[in-house]
Amino acid sequence: MKWLMGIVWLLAPASALAHTIEPCYCDQGCYTNEVTKLTCTPDKARFKSTGLPASTDSQMIGIRASNQQFPAAHDFEFEINRSPRYQQNTTATEPGAIGVAVNGVPLFNPDTQGPAGATGKRPTAFDAGELDDCGGHAGRGDDYHYHIAPKCLIENLGADHVEKLKKPIGFAMDGFPILALGWFEKSNDVEALLDLCRGMFDENDSYFYNVMNKPKWDILNCFHGRPRGFARDRWRPRLDKNQREIVGLPIRFEIQSTQRQTEGNDVCHTMTGRLSNEQILTTSGQTRRISSQSGSIFHCNAQCYGLFFEAERKPQFRGRVLYYDLITERCPIGFDPSQIKTFEAYLGPPQPYKGPPPTGRGPAPGGNRPPADGRGPPPKGSGPPPRG
């Protein structure tokens, strides 16, 4: 395979032969300020991050189908293999992490983690309208991650980083760098030279992946190195009024604005947008359909939130029914929910608790989900726990 790639180089235009990438695993200048504590050994590069991109990025804006998760600060520890070996055999990606961007935000496979459709394939997060304008969203653990090329990050890095210096925009979980050649300068476009995994060799025989610079902005399609566990994460899940873990229910909610404010020990997340074509349970036990209505969902703590949950299914209900649980008993002093345009609260009989929805994959790598308090040994396996 490597020899055949060499033939492609001989037949390629002269401009394509000029590419010499700069992996810069151990150069802090290759990373953004969101990456901290970069250290290196001859074989590994290690660093930490909160998993959040620059505050100037439009996180969650543009999402049309929300899972009611909020981008929260995590405690990621990444370990990148500095000496990846090219293998002729490829390894398929799976729903979940496939690498990390140079801002410390995980990169995910394009697929959602919901059940497969009639074709046997899961829809992509891009096609499902689940991604923001930057190509990411918050997953089931309130972990922000990208499912496609990190568009805002690449724009922030700029043409010098991407095209002139040919530095990575991320690293795959097999250790090979991920570039974005051709994003700013079409003369650097290598799309026609890429293999099935979206990779190629530079003139120094160094292998790298290259993201697609147009829809659907693919990152990579498979691995030409051996993927390995490369991340650990400690986190605390959000809880409801009964101290049960909240895993957001997908709803037709177009996010138009977001706000995050810290009040003492609480971080209050608010997302405002438009709910469309959903059936709502009222306090009287009747249902009504919302064709289009603006409002907000929010969460500060287990006694201060406004979120949608799925109501108990009944024979008289046609299709899924939601209810809006509005809890304001212990909101922080600096957070006033009366100033938020909320939806109609359900005040009827308690609804049964529905646990996390299935992903169709079985347990996360390494066994169970992290402990509810976020402590103890972090999950093992191929990157951060797959939370979609």
For residues 277 and 52, give the distance between their C-alpha atoms in angstroms, rounded to a whole number: 31
101 and 205 housed in the same domain:
yes
- Note whether 263 and 270 are within 8 A (CB): no
Closest CA to 148 of 112, 200, 192: 112
- Domain assignment of residue 347, yes or no: yes
Give me the pLDDT at residue 356, please: 63
292 sits in which H/E element: strand 287-301
Residue 382 lies in a domain: no
Domain co-membership, 72 together with 193: yes
- Are 51 and 145 found together in one domain? yes
| pLDDT at residue 118 in the model | 66
Q: State which amino acid sits at residue 149.
A: A
> CA angle at residue 364 from 111 to 102, to 5 degrees?
60
Which of 168, 198, 223 is at the close of a domain? 223
Q: Which residues contact 122 (CB under 8 A, 6 or more apart)?
A: 95, 111, 112, 113, 114, 115, 116, 360
SS3 category, 217: coil
Residue 236 is predicted with a pLDDT of: 87
In this structure, are 34 and 183 located in the same domain?
Answer: yes
User: If residue 77 lies in a helix (H) or strand (E), which one and from where to where?
Assistant: strand 75-81
Q: Which of 100, 101, 89 is nearest to 162 (CA)?
A: 101
**Is the CB of residue 356 less than 8 Å from the CB of residue 244?**
no
| Cα–Cα separations (whole angstroms), residue 222 to 166, 193, 247, 317 | 22, 16, 29, 43
Q: How many domains does the chain have?
A: 2
Taking the whole predicted model, whether its pTM rises above 0.75 is answered as yes
List of the chain residues with pLDDT < 70: 1-18, 114-118, 120, 356-388
- Per-residue pLDDT at 246: 92
Task: Tell whether 205 and 244 lie within a shared domain.
Answer: no
- Is residue 343 one of the residues assigned to a domain? yes
Q: How many helices (H) and strands (E) does the chain have?
A: 2, 19
The bridge status of strand 97-101 relative to strand 91-92 is unpaired
| 231 assigned to some structural domain | no
The phi, psi pair for 259, rounded to 5°, reads: -150, 140
> Is residue 173 domain-shared with residue 259, that is, in the same domain?
no
The boundaries of the domain holding residue 318 are 237-367
User: What residues form DSSP beta bridges with 307?
Assistant: 325
Are 269 and 165 members of one domain?
Answer: no
Q: How far is CA 144 from the centre of its chain?
A: 5
Residues 57 and 167 placed together within one structural domain of the fold: yes
Residue 161 DSSP class: I
98-146 pLDDT, tens digit per residue, is 999 999 999 999 998 766 666 767 889 999 999 999 999 999 899 999 9
State how far the alpha carbon of 97 is from the alpha carbons of 71, 101, 145, 169, 174, in Å: 16, 11, 9, 16, 11
Q: What tokens does 110 get?
A: 């394009």
40 with 18, same domain: the answer is yes
Is position 232 within any domain?
no
Domain boundary among 223, 251, 279: 223
Identify each DSSP E strand in 202-248 by its residue range.
207-210, 222-223, 231-234
Shared-domain flag, residues 139 and 283? no
Residue 384 lies in a domain: no
Residue 327 · residue 345 · CB < 8 Å = no
pLDDT of residue 18: 64
Let me know: does 73 contact 51? Beta carbons within 8 Å: yes
Residue 162 belongs to a domain: yes
Beta-bridge partner residues of 201: 207
Query: Which of 223, 249, 271 is the last residue in one of the domains?
Result: 223
Examine residue 195 and state whether it is found in any structural domain, yes or no: yes
Do 103 and 169 belong to one domain?
Answer: yes
- Give the pLDDT confidence score for residue 6 in this predicted structure: 38
Task: Give burial (CB, 10 Å; 0-12/13-18/19+) of 109.
Answer: buried
> How many Cβ atoms sit within 10 Å of the Cβ of residue 253?
23
What pLDDT does 248 receive?
86
Tell me what pLDDT residue 234 has: 86
Co-location of 65 and 110 in the same domain: yes
Distance between first and last Cα of the chain: 33
Q: Which residues of 119-130 are buried (b: 16+ CB within 10 A; e: fewer)?
A: eeebbbbbebeb
